[in-house]
């Protein structure tokens, strides 16, 4: 694994990360192998369900379908990407994949760090899906996928520059008032959100997905949906006591046009578990 030296400048980081083989979760690799053994009974929907549990595999599927050059602009969800690839070619493309656990076998703290971000991404995707359905969004799966992929740059930093990822996390834990973007800017020279968008362009991901992952488009309801799902997942990763959750709840209520009681019911949360004032 390449941990150092690390490049300087956004463009060099894009090249550095763009040249790496993207790993997938070991659990995902096992599920794919089981599906391969049952290939005669596996549908595209079954494969889609496996992919949507792993942001790294989701990225690989999208880049593979984009690389085909066919109907690229239309591939904005995993089901369409899997359909374009076909079941048999899908298995051939992802045979014996590199796993995250083998990549970081000698760096257990980095493995723990990246798994936490992936759990957060999975949770954000579930929230985004639920809220997009409640909003009658025109394509719920697109919104859920954008939330799943929103923090890919952070995941890749843990994979290929874990010392820097660990240092950013340490600074944030040492100063609760420090914003993530400022810590990233100080260590990398740019916030990870800029790297994320640059990587999306480098991989030729669909513009629609890139738009929904760009927080500068927060005036759009679909982007708000993604953004708030990511925020709620981040602030609730360890427990439900982060004071920032109060602001999140208010924004989600405005997005969905619901009250606090309804929101807590949707999240299956008891008011006594939340920061003081969240039930007001």
Question: Which CATH number fits the domain that encloses residue 220?
Answer: 1.10.3210.10
Are both 139 and 259 inside the same structural domain?
Answer: yes
Report residue 58 as tokens: 């989701």
Confirm whether 48 is domain-assigned: yes
Residue 211 confidence (pLDDT): 93
Question: 152-193: per-residue pLDDT in tens?
Answer: 999 999 999 999 999 999 999 898 788 899 999 999 999 999
Number of domains in the chain: 2
Residue 15 confidence (pLDDT): 94
Residue 68 confidence (pLDDT): 52
Contact 215, 193 (CB under 8 A): yes
pLDDT at 194 over 50: yes
For the four alpha carbons of 39, 42, 44 and 45, in that order, the dihedral sign comes to negative
Domain boundary among 49, 84, 100: 100
Q: Which residue has the tokens 């723990």?
A: 112
DSSP code of residue 28: H
Q: Which domain holds residue 124?
A: 107-273
Domain boundary among 100, 132, 157: 100
Are both 253 and 226 inside the same structural domain?
Answer: yes
Question: 210-267: per-residue pLDDT in tens?
Answer: 999 998 999 999 999 999 999 999 999 988 988 889 999 999 999 999 999 999 999 9
């Amino acid at each position: 694994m390449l941990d150092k030296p690390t490049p300087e400048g956004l463009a060099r980081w894009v090249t550095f990360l763009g040249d790496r083989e993207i790993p997938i979760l070991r659990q995902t690799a096992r599920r794919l192998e089981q599906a391969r053994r049952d290939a005669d009974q596996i549908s595209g929907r079954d494969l889609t369900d496996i992919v949507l549990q792993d942001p790294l595999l989701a990225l690989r599927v999208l880049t593979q379908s984009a690389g085909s050059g066919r109907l690229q602009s239309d591939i904005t969800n995993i089901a369409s990407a899997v359909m374009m690839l076909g079941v048999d070619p899908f298995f051939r493309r992802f045979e014996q994949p590199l796993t995250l656990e083998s990549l970081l076998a000698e760096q257990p703290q980095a493995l723990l760090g990246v798994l936490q971000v992936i759990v957060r991404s999975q949770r954000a995707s579930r929230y985004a899906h639920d809220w997009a359905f409640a909003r009658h969004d025109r394509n719920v799966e697109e919104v859920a996928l954008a939330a799943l992929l929103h923090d890919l740059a952070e995941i890749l930093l843990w994979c290929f520059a874990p010392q820097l990822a660990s240092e950013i996390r340490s600074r944030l834990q040492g100063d609760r008032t420090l914003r993530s973007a400022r810590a990233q800017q100080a260590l990398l020279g740019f916030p990870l959100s800029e790297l994320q968008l640059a990587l999306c362009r480098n991989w030729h991901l669909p513009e629609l997905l890139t738009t929904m992952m760009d927080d500068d488009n927060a005036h759009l309801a679909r982007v708000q949906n993604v953004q708030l799902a990511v925020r709620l997942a981040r602030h609730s990763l360890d427990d439900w006591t982060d004071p920032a959750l109060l602001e999140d709840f208010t924004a989600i209520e405005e997005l969905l046009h619901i009250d606090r009681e309804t929101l807590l019911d949707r999240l299956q949360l008891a008011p006594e578990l939340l920061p003081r004032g969240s039930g007001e």
